[in-house]
Amino acid sequence: MIEFHPVTRHIGAEVTGVDLRRPPSDDEVAQIRRGLLDHLVLFFRDQEITDEQHLAFARRFGTLNEPPMKTSASAIHVLDQKDPKGEGGDSWHSDNTFMPVPPMGSLLRAVILPDVGGDTLWANMYLAYESLPRSIQRLCDELEAEHDLTMSVTKAIAKGHRLDLEEMRRAWPPVRHPVVRIHPETGRRALFVNRSSTTRLVGLDDRENEALLPLLQDVVRSPEFQVRLKWRVGTLAFWDNRPTQHYAVADYTQRRKMHRVTINAPAEIDDGVPKGPRQA
């Protein structure tokens, strides 16, 4: 029997009663999907699975989202690091919001871990929005923001990764998304700006952006909105990318290898953002 054990009051639950080595039934998929909507990020412990099983499990919840920076021959994005400081994961973010339709979720699995460190945190962006004064909420409800991959790719290049920024900008030009995203399945409002990709609030001048955008980006830092995971090899985390942000703690110097699969919402679910690029 599948059970969900909350880790904090507002976000995160450990899941028991699931063996990811075998395909889940339709009923199990429905239960896990409900648990994801309720808890925003789910932790599956002691799951010694292959890449193929990882991909098969992800496909039950959406279509595979091909990573913009390929690190393997498949849809698995390999994060293999010893010196992660400044590479981008150590900044609060949602995955790939520079895409016209950002991914619905991600499934991240620990393969090799350092002796100490390398935790990941997630934050509840419903609560981030709800914590704002009502006057700021009303303003944000009407705003759009520009999302651009330039900042994250520039960090990667500075760390020695061989990437062509101009080629990537041509493939993924800046786009606009609502500052407040309404979740298509829960109907709740979540703050949808982050420090990795959000460059400006559309329609505001430079001084207004300098005042408001950092305030919105930093709401995520409140500990009461967060959950922190201490990884073990064989742990898989599955999070809803729409109402969450996450942060990879860059406090290790030994090898940390993680495999991530990112997924789009199933065709029957309207993900709440336009289907074509809206140029910023």
β-sheet with 226-229: strand ranges across: 226-229, 120-124, 244-248
CB atoms within 10 A of CB 37: 14
- Residue 73 gets which letter from DSSP? S
Tell me if 68 sits within 8 A of 96, measured CB to CB: yes
Phi, psi for residue 99 in degrees, rounded to 5: -80, 150
Residues serving a catalytic function are 93, 95, 246, 260
Tell me if 192 sits within 8 A of 177, measured CB to CB: yes
Q: Which of 68, 37, 207, 224 shows the shortest CA–CA distance to 149?
A: 68
Encode burial over 55-82: b for 16+ CB neighbours within 10 A, e otherwise.
bbbbebbbebbebbeeeeebbbbbbebe
